[in-house]
Amino acid sequence: MDRVYELLNQDNQLKKIAHFVGNQLCFVAGSTWEEDYNLMNDFLTSSKEIKIIIAPHEVNEKSIKALEKKIKVSFTKWSTYDLKSKVESNILIIDTIGQLTKIYSYASFAYVGGGMGNSGLHNTLEPAVYGIPIIIGKNYKQFQEVVDLIENKGVVSVEKESDFNIISNGSYK
């Protein structure tokens, strides 16, 4: 908890993220897996009024290619993002490691991956420290901090895509 609390005191500026997000609302999906993309499928392809940043848990060619196939709309990637170009896409894929804790500071709301499958829910405290609404999958009960966050209405657990769509639409409207 002390390490996560220190995120508030560090320099969280990332020029690429600031340029990509601009003045729009931003949804960050962090440490995500294929099961998470299935949950967010409709949201990823139909949300035009907000910026979406996806940071997969596994950052390798196979994982990134699988994610690219799931997204049916225009997207850009961190590794090829050009600060001098006009942002044409609403989706940014983070295809490198090491930026997620800073990226959460730009989020209006977030999804933390791992809770839809058996890989294990990832760190919900990293986005929670910024005081934003957080959505997770259904497998979380072994993490006391998540149970506490749910009880205090800082985290919402969803079981299926329709639940995710209802919650995510309410999070930014």
Above 90 in pLDDT, residue 58?
yes
What residues make up the domain containing 141? 2-7+16-172
Sheet holding 51-56, edge to edge: 76-77, 91-93, 51-56, 26-32, 109-112, 134-136, 155-157
Question: How confident is the model over 10-52, as pLDDT tens digits?
Answer: 899 999 999 999 999 999 999 999 999 999 999 988 878 899 9
* b/e per residue 19-32 (b: at least 16 CB within 10 A): ebbeeebbbbbbbb
Tracing tokens 């997204």 back to the chain, one arrives at 71
Residue with more model confidence, 72 or 126: 126
Measured between alpha carbons, how far is 38 from 162 in angstroms, rounded to an integer? Answer: 11
E strands present in 15-114: 26-32, 51-56, 76-77, 91-93, 109-112
* Number of domains, the chain: 1
CATH code where residue 145 lies: 3.40.50.2000
pTM over 0.85: yes
Residue-wise pLDDT for 124-141, tens only, equals: 999 999 999 999 999 999
End-to-end CA distance of the chain: 30
Confidence at residue 1, expressed as pLDDT on a 0 to 100 scale: 67
